[in-house]
Structure 1
Amino acid sequence: MSQLETAMAIMMKTFDTYAGKEGKKDTLTKGEVKTLLEKELPALFKAAKNPAEMDKIIKDLDFNGDAEVDFTEFVVLVAAMTCAAHDRPKK
């Protein structure tokens, strides 16, 4: 596989690793999102100064308002984080 195909496969596997432990197998509950962020994006999690900020991040991920984060919503988070990292000042 190419590097991009590998990255896509890792994204899918990461989502599937956390999804379904508490709720539906194809979505993330609030608790599953929190665990995923703590383990897979620790810098983002640490940047949130208090639990209310993390709750807002999780709520904002739920675009359709169903109280769950589906794969599409997860991909939007990863894309946004990737764009933010790519736009950082060059050294």
Structure 2
Amino acid sequence: MPTQLEVAMDTMIQIFHRYSCKEGDRFKLNKGELKQLLQRELTEFLSCQKDPQLVDKIMQDLDANKDNEVDFNEFVVMVAALTVACNDYFVEQLKKKGKK
């Protein structure tokens, strides 16, 4: 029976490939595929954002090799950065509650 972390890793891989296989290189996300993934899988994150250029900015930030596509390694960087940001927020909220 897989551990929760193994299930989480498998889920990330499956989600990436669910979107990457739609157009062009089936092992990379183009801008449209990335946008779909963000809209469907990070709905809460996007709903808090007001910047209409957000997907373009994320694409530029993630596309380390500047090929106008996001490969799995670049995708994992995004997920890791968002996870760290969420953890930082969670820790700050706990600290605020502890001061009361």
Ranges of 4+ aligned residues in structure 1 off by more than 3 Å: none
Query: Structure 1, residues 15-74: CA drift from partner, whole Å, max 9, x if none?
Result: 010002111110000000000000000122223313213311122111110000000000
Say if 1:28 and 1:69, in contact at 8 Å, map to a contact too. yes
Q: TM-score, normalised by structure 1?
A: 0.92
Change (3 A) 1:47 1:54: farther
Gaps of 5+ in 2: none
Say if 2:59 and 2:68, in contact at 8 Å, map to a contact too. no
CA distance in 1, matches of 2:30, 2:48: 21
CA distance in 1, matches of 2:54, 2:16: 22
CA distance in 2, matches of 1:22, 1:45: 23
Q: TM-score, normalised by structure 2?
A: 0.84
- 2:61 maps to which residue? 60
The structure that is helix-richer by fraction is 2
- 1:5 maps to which residue? 6
Query: Percent sequence identity over matched residues?
Result: 49
Say if 1:45 and 1:54, in contact at 8 Å, map to a contact too. no
- 1:29 maps to which residue? 30
- The structure that has the greater radius of gyration is 2
Report the count of equivalent residues. 91
Task: Please tell me the root mean square deviation across aligned C-alpha atoms, in Å.
Answer: 1.2
- Which amino acid in 1 is paired with 2:18? T
SS of 2:58's partner is helix
SS of 1:63's partner is coil
